Amino acid sequence: MTTTEIDNKTGLVTQEYKINMGPQHPAAHGVLRLVLTLDGEIIEKVDPDLGYIHRGIEKMTERDTYKQIVHLTDRLDYLSSHINNEAVCLAVENALQIEVSDRVKVIRTIIAELTRLASHQLWWGVMGMDIGALTTFMYAFRDRELINDIMEETCGTRLTMNYNKPGGLMFDIHPNFQKRVKEFIKHFKVSLPEYNTLLSGNVIFKKRLQGIGYMSKEDAIAYGVSGPSARGSNISCDVRKIHPYSAYDRVDFNEILMEGGDSYDRYMVRMKEMEESMKIIEQLIDNIPEGDFETKTAAVLKLPKGEYYQKVESARGEFGVFIVSDGKKSPYRMKFRSPGFANLSILDKISRGHKIADLVAIMSSLDFVIPDIDR
Amino acid sequence: MTNSELQVLVSSWMDGLEFIDEGAQYLTITVPKENLRDLMFKLRDDSEAAFDYMFSLTAVDWGKNRGMVYHLESTKYRHIIVVHVYTEDETLDTISDIYPTAILNEREAYDLMGIIFTGHPDLRRLFLQDDWVGHPLRKDYVDEANMIVK
């Protein structure tokens, strides 16, 4: 509702007004429309209007087989495509009690961590760009290219990998895989400190983020926030630690937690998470066990009647797959719990009272991928 | 807490709950819709249960009726519980004041499944335009132009 009032000092008539940010906004990373209610430049309310890229994937799953559904999920959060595929495969494997070999578990974990690294690199480049530092984008894409090349060689595609299937992997790793991953790690161990030199300590950058978009621990839990965004508010929520899957129970890594809860802490969580991801890859890359890359399964899988839930840690937070099966070849109902959707729900709360330019910083620090929100 | 300990705790709060434990991944409770809010308050505020994190809300069309499936986790104890609730007349009480994550999720459930949440502060369509007819996730939804049915 628009309220009109007269300023006591100046006698000028002032009123709240609304503007649209998006759906085609360079800082929105996709087709997200935010209706902002403003008092001058101060945000009073953020009302997200979704659906510009809604493809009805949950409805589509009800006519597809489980093996087909895997290929829809990398279109959700396209930067965590491998991890989304993995979630569906794990759900189906657990429901049918299909045992996959250690080799599959280890390869899945390595690729998932490479995916997380690539996602965080892109996020870092774009975050700098949102704040006004264009150089970061070039650095990030230079390094991300190396991961994309590894993916292209082993998985066949660079972005939406589709390397998983229920029962294992589509094909075995490329002979160059280990060599190239090691080369990448060696390269990125030098580049990552560069990232920090370039941006993390920059005074302007820090002033744009520190104290902006404060999220309290209680709010973050109540709104269902997960992933690095929640860990910036000191919430231990890493699914890899709490409900380990694949090979995460056999590697040693730290869950990064920050106390502050502002945009800068969310930024730092992701920066440090990249080091942890490299640590995980280093522990596994020389120890890929021998074995089959797939367990033979029927062409059409039918899940026993019942409900199944599988959660995994995607680059953005907790990604969940909920399957209601009635025993047929397609799920009766399938729901994707996307981290971005829950993280978006707190945007209104944490950006009230800030300026429009701060909203851009807050959105970057929450790391939205819009197809993940719209599904 | 293990599933059976949780079941003892939850069943001491109120009557009329049904439990599915055998074969299910998590302890699953079915609650009559008039007791939904009471149960949610208890689940959140009881010090032994402490289900503070609602990580998934799913609207399901069961054919004869519709309902919601809530997945809850305790960030303190890390136990998980699932709550089922059914409605015959498309209405359910909102839980968006108990778990704010439900504000957007209930809008999604209203938009795609047509469940009306009484007491929701801002129940509008979320993904589809305001003048859209029907609720696409319902099993009886027909859209000949845009849906490929096998």
- Confidence at A208, pLDDT banded by 50, 70, 90: confident
- Closest-CA residue of B relative to A235 is B75
**pLDDT digit string, tens, across residues A62-76:** 888 998 899 888 888
Tokens describing residue A148: 């994309």
| pLDDT at residue A117, as a whole number | 92
Helix (H) or strand (E) run with residue A314 in it: strand A306-314
Output the pLDDT for position A1: 46
Q: Percent of chain A, pLDDT > 70?
A: 98
In the predicted structure, residue A4 carries a pLDDT above the cut 80: no
Query: Taking CB atoms and an 8 Å limit, are A307 and B128 in contact across chains?
Result: no
The shortest C-alpha distance from B147 to chain A (Å) reads 9
Q: Which domain holds residue B136?
A: 3-146
Q: Write out chain A residues lying below 8 Å of B28, CB-based.
A: 307
Task: Find, in chain B, the residue whose alpha carbon is nearest to that of A323.
Answer: B58
B150 touches chain A (CB under 8 A): yes
Question: For testing the chain B interface, which of A335, A338, A350, A375 should be mutated: the one with the most B CBs within 10 Å?
Answer: A335
Contact: A59, B61; criterion CB under 8 Å: no
Contact between B57 and B109 (Cβ < 8 Å): yes
Are A222 and B128 a contacting pair at CB < 8 A? Answer: no
The SS3 assignment for A236 reads coil
- CA distances for A245 relative to A93, A282, A297, angstroms: 12, 18, 21
Q: What are the tens digits of pLDDT across the range A154-176?
A: 888 888 888 888 888 888 888 88
pLDDT digits (tens, 9 = 90+) for A212-226: 889 998 899 999 899
Contacts of A311 in chain B (CB under 8 A): 55
Residue A179 Cα distances to A161, A277, A284, angstroms: 20, 17, 13
ipTM of the complex: 0.88
**Band of the pLDDT at A335, cuts 50, 70, 90?**
very high
Q: Answer whether B55 sits within 8 Å of A58, measured CB to CB.
A: no
What is the nearest CA distance from A35 to chain B, expressed in angstroms? 13
Comparing CA positions, the residue from A272, A220, A266, A241 lying closest to residue A116 is A272
| Residue A336 confidence (pLDDT) | 92
- The pLDDT of residue A306 is 85
Task: Tell me the pLDDT band of A321, cut-offs 50, 70 and 90.
Answer: very high
To the nearest whole Å, the CA of B127 is away from the closest chain A CA by 4
Chain B: nearest CA to A156, how far in angstroms? Answer: 29
Nearest chain A residue to B97, by CA? A222
pLDDT value for B149: 64
The total number of structural domains in chain B stands at: 1
- How many Cβ pairs closer than 8 A exist between chain A and B? 84
Give me the phi and psi of A342, to 5 degrees please: -70, -40
CA–CA separation, B85 and A160 (whole Å): 37
Of A306, A308, A345, which is closest to B101 when you measure between CB atoms?
A345
* pLDDT value of residue A327: 86
pLDDT in tens, B38-73: 888 888 888 888 888 999 999 998 888 889 999 999
Instruction: Give the residue-averaged pLDDT of A82-94.
Output: 91
pLDDT digits (tens, 9 = 90+) for A129-159: 888 888 888 899 989 999 999 999 888 888 8
CATH code for the domain in which residue B98 is found: 3.30.460.80
Query: What would the pLDDT profile of B95-135 be if each residue is shown by its tens digit?
Result: 989 999 999 999 999 999 989 999 888 888 888 888 888 88
Q: Do A307 and B23 touch (CB under 8 A)?
A: no
- The answer to whether the beta carbons of residues A240 and A227 sit under 8 Å apart is no
- The residues, any chain, with a CB within 8 Å of residue A186's CB and separated by 6 or more, are none
Work out the mean pLDDT of chain A and round it to a whole number: 88
Nearest chain B CA: its distance from A222 CA (Å): 6
**pLDDT of A115:** 92
Chain Cα centroid distance, residue A99: 27
- Distance, CA of A25 to CA of A227 (rounded, Å): 25
DSSP, residue by residue, A17-65: EEEEE-SS-GGGSSS-EEEEEEETTEEEEEEEE--TT---HHHHHTTS-
Put simply, the answer to whether B24 touches A223 (Cβ < 8 Å) is no
What is chain B's Cα-based Rg?
Answer: 16
Using CA atoms, how far residue A44 sits from A6, A220, A243, A350, in Å, is 18, 20, 39, 11
- Cα(A257)–Cα(A259) distance, integer angstroms: 7
Rounded to 5 degrees, φ, ψ at A338 are -95, 135
Which of B58, B128, B137 is closest, CB to CB, to A322? Answer: B58
Residues ≥6 apart with Cβ < 8 Å to A120: A270, A271, A273, A274, A277, A315
Average pLDDT over residues A239-256: 89
pLDDT of residue A31: 82
Tell which wins on pLDDT, A262 or B13: A262
Residues A340/A343/A345/A348 CA torsion (nearest 10 deg) = -120
Nearest-CB residue to A307 (from B24, B112, B126): B24
Contact A333 B58 (CB under 8 A): yes
More confident residue, B13 or A251: A251
For A335, which of B53, B56, B150 is closest by C-beta distance? B56
Q: Which residues contact A73 (CB under 8 A, 6 or more apart)?
A: A57, A81, A84, A85, A87, A88, A321, A336
Between the alpha carbon of residue B27 and those of residues A34, A236, B82, the distances in Å are: 39, 23, 6
Query: Would the CB atoms of B101 and A222 count as touching at under 8 Å?
Result: yes
What is the fold of A57-374?
Cytochrome-c3 Hydrogenase; chain B (1.10.645)
For an interface test with B, which of A226, A333, A375 has the most B Cβ atoms less than 10 Å from its Cβ? A333
Tens of pLDDT, residues A252-274: 888 889 888 888 999 999 999 99
Chain A residue with Cα closest to B113: A59
Residue A240 has pLDDT above 60, yes or no: yes
pLDDT at A2 over 60: no
Best interface-test mutation with A: which of B58, B77, B80, B120 has the largest number of A CBs within 10 A?
Answer: B58
Q: What is the pLDDT of residues B27-38, one digit of tens each?
A: 888 888 888 888
Mark which residues 5-24 of B lie under 8 Å from A by CB.
23-24
Token readout for A174 is 């490329």
List the single residue in A with minimal CA-CA distance to B142. Answer: A59
> What's the length of chain B?
150
Residue in the block written with tokens 């569906």? A88
- Phi, psi of B82, rounded to the nearest 5 degrees: -120, 135
Among residues A59, A95, A90, the alpha carbon closest in space to that of A319 is found at: A90
* Structure-token match 């400190």, residue found: A193
Angle between helices A177-195 and A102-131 (to 10 degrees): 30
Q: Could you count the other beta carbons within 10 Å of the beta carbon of residue A159?
A: 14
pLDDT > 90: percent of chain A = 23
